[in-house]
Structure 1
Amino acid sequence: MTKRVLRVILVVGAGMALLACSPKIYGRVQLVDPAMKPVVGDSSDGTVINMINTTSALENASHSVMVNAQGEFASEKDKVSPGMYKVEASRIGYLTETQSVEVGRFSRKELEIKLKKVVEGKRRSIEGARSDADKIVNPGEVNIQPPTM
């Protein structure tokens, strides 16, 4: 009798554990310079992570989360269903990074995402310009013609 009760408890416990293991996408985001070295003084907090299910019905196709102050993110419970996902991390001033992952019924996928800083170009000066105001081009000063065929 005791063995039977223990088996029932074990089966019920295992079933509950499987139900608690819903699909999940999680990981870390690191900001790096063009040489792939960590950027000092800039936090990945607030980086947007889009998770797009490419094999799901349209109404369940996407889910977004934000990266926390520790650089970590995780999909919300019951927002990720099994299928192929394109996970896209984007932040102003950094190149968008996209990774593809397959999520199973009870699987959890961990991602390491490195966002590379965009190097700002140096502004060329316009010859003959005496001030910044001389460098501004107003739309009304430009004569755009449709292409001729």
Structure 2
Amino acid sequence: MKYRTNLLLLLFVLALLTAGCSAKIYGKVELVNAKMEPIESEHPKGTVINMINTTAKVEKASHSVIVDEEGEFESEKEAIVPGTYKVEATRIGFGTETRTVEMKGSTREKIKFQLKKIPEGKRRAIEGAASDADKIINPGEVNIRPPGM
């Protein structure tokens, strides 16, 4: 009788622990230069992590989080359901990185993103322009002609 009670108690505790372990996608984002070296002057806070379930119903298909000061992110509790996820890290001025992960039951998937800085281009000056205002073309200044027949 005591053995049976202990077994039931153990099964109950295991059921509680399993119920508390929901699936989770978590990880870290690092901002790097073209040589894949960390950029100390840039902080990953504010990077957006999109988690898109490509196999779920539309209402459960998408979840997003923002990266914290340490560059870490974690999906919200109960937001991740089983399926195949496209996890995407995106930040203005940096390239976007995407990973595909398979989530089952209470899977915990750790992902590390290294977002590479996009080099800023230089605008070519318009010859003869006295100021920046002279360089702007308004929609009314553009003549669209139909193609010749």
Query: What's the TM-score once normalised by structure 2's chain length?
Result: 0.90
The answer to whether structure 1 residue 67 and structure 2 residue 80 are counterparts is: no
C-alpha distance in 1, partners of 2:146/2:119? 34
Aligned partner letter, 1:62: S
Aligned runs of 1:37-48 on 2, under 5 Å? 37-48=37-48
Q: How far did residue 82 of structure 1 move? A: 0.3
Cα gap change, 1:147 to 1:69, in 2 (>3 Å): farther
Q: How does 1:20-39 map to 2 (within 5 A)?
A: 20-39=20-39
Distance 2:106 2:133 in 1: 61
Q: Does 1:119 align with 2:136?
A: no
Q: Which moved more, 1:40-49 or 1:127-136?
A: 127-136
TM-score of the superposition, structure 1-length normalised? 0.90
Q: C-alpha distance in 2, partners of 1:124/1:55?
A: 46
Q: What are the equivalent positions in structure 2 for 1:1-149 lying under 5 Å apart? A: 1-147=1-147
Q: Which runs of 5+ in 1 are unaligned?
A: none
- Report the CA distance shift for 1:105/1:129 in structure 2 as closer, same or farther (over 3 A): same
Question: Unmatched 5+ residue regions in structure 2?
Answer: none
Which ranges of 4 or more aligned residues in structure 1 deviate by more than 6 Å?
Answer: none
Structure 2: distance between partners of 1:93 and 1:12: 51
SS in structure 1 at match of 2:114: strand
Specify the code of the residue in structure 1 equivalent to 2:41. Answer: G
Q: State percent identity of aligned pairs.
A: 54
CA distance in 1, matches of 2:147, 2:98: 36
Query: C-alpha deviations, 1:54-111, integer Å up to 9, x for none?
Result: 0001111101111111111111111110000011111111111111110011211110
1:89, 1:24 → 2: CA distance? 16
For the aligned residue pairs, the C-alpha RMSD in angstroms reads 1.7
Aligned residues: 149
Q: 2 CA distance for matches of 1:127 and 1:14?
A: 75
